[in-house]
């Protein structure tokens, strides 16, 4: 069953660290079947606190999404995202 990783950026903390994350996150997608569905495009918050942006990534399965997130390459990039911005991140099964 298709799964989605949803990344919601609440606020930027350090633009330099976030730039390093961007450089490392791109190659971390290699070898993983990821389809970007939304990538910091136009958005409107209808309920809840305001956000700076959101990303939605599609994976063939929940386990594929977990494998990408837990991969050594993404974990190396993640350290910079955690220093660069506050996020909420989740994996959701599709229907």
DSSP structure string for 21-62: HHHHHHHHTTTS--EEEEES------SSS--SEEEEEEESSH
Asked if 73 and 23 touch (Cβ cutoff 8 Å), the reply is: no
User: Whole-angstrom Cα distance, residue 65 to residue 84?
Assistant: 22
pLDDT for the residue numbered 42: 96
**Predicted TM-score of the model (pTM):** 0.93
pLDDT in tens, 44-95: 999 999 999 999 999 999 999 999 999 999 999 999 999 999 999 999 999 9
Class of the 3-93 domain? alpha beta
pLDDT of residue 89: 98
Q: Collapse the DSSP code of 2 into the 3-class scheme (helix H, G, I; strand E, B; otherwise coil) and give the result.
A: coil
**Helix or strand run (H / E) with residue 76:** helix 72-84
Predicted confidence band at 16 (pLDDT cuts at 50, 70, 90)?
Answer: very high
Domain ranges in the chain are: 3-93
């Amino acid at each position: 069953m298709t799964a989605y990783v949803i990344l919601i950026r609440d606020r930027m903390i350090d633009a330099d660290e976030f730039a390093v994350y961007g450089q490392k996150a791109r190659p971390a997608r290699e070898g993983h079947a990821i389809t970007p569905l939304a990538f910091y495009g136009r958005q409107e918050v209808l309920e809840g606190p305001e956000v700076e942006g959101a990303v939605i990534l599609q994976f063939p399965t929940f386990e594929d999404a977990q494998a990408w997130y837990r991969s050594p390459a993404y974990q190396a990039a993640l350290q910079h995202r955690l220093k660069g911005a506050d996020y909420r991140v989740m994996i959701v099964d599709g229907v």
